[in-house]
Structure 1
């Protein structure tokens, strides 16, 4: 099974908590899972023989949280070609805003522009409907994990 690299962008800690919860769940599924803190993302280009799982909340008018902005812009400016990279994306937001999950949308678009392939559904978690986003993320994770296992078989 491929190693999973988890990256998060958070304003108040919700996306970080979801990412930490998913890291433990992936380990429980027998995967190696590494959670990157924002200061560890400097120069990080996800290896193409591993998986990338991004969890990102949205701030302002669909903006990226401060803690992930520099990595996003660094990846955008370096523009590494990543045709073998498979990624998953989870967005946290509030559907009462026009820019619902706008930051996660930006991340997904960037990685698709870099040639990476999205693995599974884009999970959008609505703060207006759930107070425990980690519960929805944990319910989504087994199907995402199974998709990679099917591709590896």
Structure 2
């Protein structure tokens, strides 16, 4: 059975809600899923998994600002075990900001730079993830199939 690790950083709870929903979809597709807060994760933890998903919200109007808890992990991702690993990125944000879900783009770039294999286009959720259930289901199903 393939193992998936979902690492999320969430301040308001939206990204955590999305992570839990994605985890449930992947589990329903037969994957063994672990969902954990980025504060409980160290680069290298992903080595034991077949698929790694990152969820991070975006703050800031004038520049891309990753969710506070995610910054330290992001800065250490060069030491993560991602080379050749299947990876997907999702995030919550507000489309009224200039850099809507810019954290998704920043993390995707970092993953490419360390040799990770992006298995789906980044999922950008505008506001409440409960209103994006169909899109989240479709994205998670595409990740599971990859």
CA deviation profile, 1:35-66 (whole Å, cap 9, x unmatched): 12233213444227610111221112321111
1:2 Cα deviation after fit: 2.1
Which consecutive unaligned segments of at least 5 residues does structure 2 have? none
- Distance in 1, matches of 2:73 and 2:137, equals 26
Describe how 1:1-153 pairs up with structure 2 within 5 A.
Answer: 1-47=1-47, 50-60=50-60, 61-76=63-78, 78=79, 80=80, 82-127=82-127, 132-146=131-145, 148=146
- Distance in 2, matches of 1:53 and 1:42, equals 14
CA contact (8 A) 1:27 1:33 kept: yes
> What root-mean-square deviation, in Å, do the aligned CA atoms of Structure 1 and Structure 2 show?
2.2
Q: Which has the larger radius of gyration?
A: 1
CA contact (8 A) 2:91 2:125 kept: yes
TM-score normalised per structure 1? 0.81
1:134 Cα deviation after fit: 4.2
Task: Give the number of equivalent residue pairs.
Answer: 144
- Distance in 2, matches of 1:120 and 1:144, equals 6
CA deviation profile, 1:41-96 (whole Å, cap 9, x unmatched): 134442276101112211123211111111111224x3x57331110111222222
Paired residue secondary structure (1:87):
strand
Pair 134,71 (structure 1): closer, same or farther in 2 beyond 3 Å = farther
Which consecutive unaligned segments of at least 5 residues does structure 1 have? 149-153
